[in-house]
Structure 1
Amino acid sequence: MPVDYRAPLADMHFIVHQLIPLSRIQTLPGYEEVDDDLVNTILEEASKFANQVLSPINWTGDQEGCILEHAVVKTPSGFKDAYQQYIEAGWISLAANPNFGGQGLPASLATPVNEMWHSANMAFMLCPMLTAGAIEAIEHLSLIHI
């Protein structure tokens, strides 16, 4: 039975602002410009994406699953459109290194964002996980060989 997910935005704000104080993150190289306005905007938009895009197709993902037909993988109804929105909004690159096209935001911000999305729709969020892993592997290997 479908469940209407609502991201626990207050909890995410607590994590980012109280458990891992932003003032400490801002002392780290590369994160000096990450301020309250940016963090709050990202959490708000990530919450909207979870509530309005991912949650409504969660049940579909569980019921339909991915299907391999004629060497082509077909994703559940709504996944293609949701993935397009995910890419266009730049969500895939949230914590990725700016040298490789990422936004370079702290993992302490990306983690609560991903928590909301995985809770809203685990089936969907398993799809871009391999891309995130590939980004990390490429970054690690390129740094070794530089």
Structure 2
Amino acid sequence: MEKIEELRYLIKAVDKEGEEQHTKMLAPFGVTPSQNEVLKILDQQDGLATTQIGELLICGSDNPSRVLDRLIQKELIKKEKDTIDSRKNNIYLTVKGRAVLKETKKIEVEFNEVIKEKLGNQMKIDEFITILNRQIEGTKTLAQIQKKKLIE
């Protein structure tokens, strides 16, 4: 196997294993990583339209409707008609959603600490981010990441 092919497989494997670990850590709170990402987005900017959430959502599909529907069923978010444009719906965190998010934020810190420990010092993390940014330069996904950084 060529080194570049091994690297490709390792990147996929790290994502897959990380997603599985993240899912297990969030399971006691009844949310998936994608659902938790929506809660985090709304915590930063409550009252966004579905399309706006989709522009910021990195974990999951291009169509966030299914994720939003599940969160509405769980009563973690609510959908309300826009007061100015009745064709538009805005999405808001509920009290229950904020309570769940308070707990899942602790899980996020714990999950990120594990990654940090495995990667080592900050310099390595910064270098790794630069390398990965180069790999997805000019893509929709990198634009989404940059947009998310602006609201956080």
The normalised TM-score by structure 2 is: 0.30
Bigger relative CO (Cα 8 Å, ≥ 6 apart): 1
The normalised TM-score by structure 1 is: 0.31
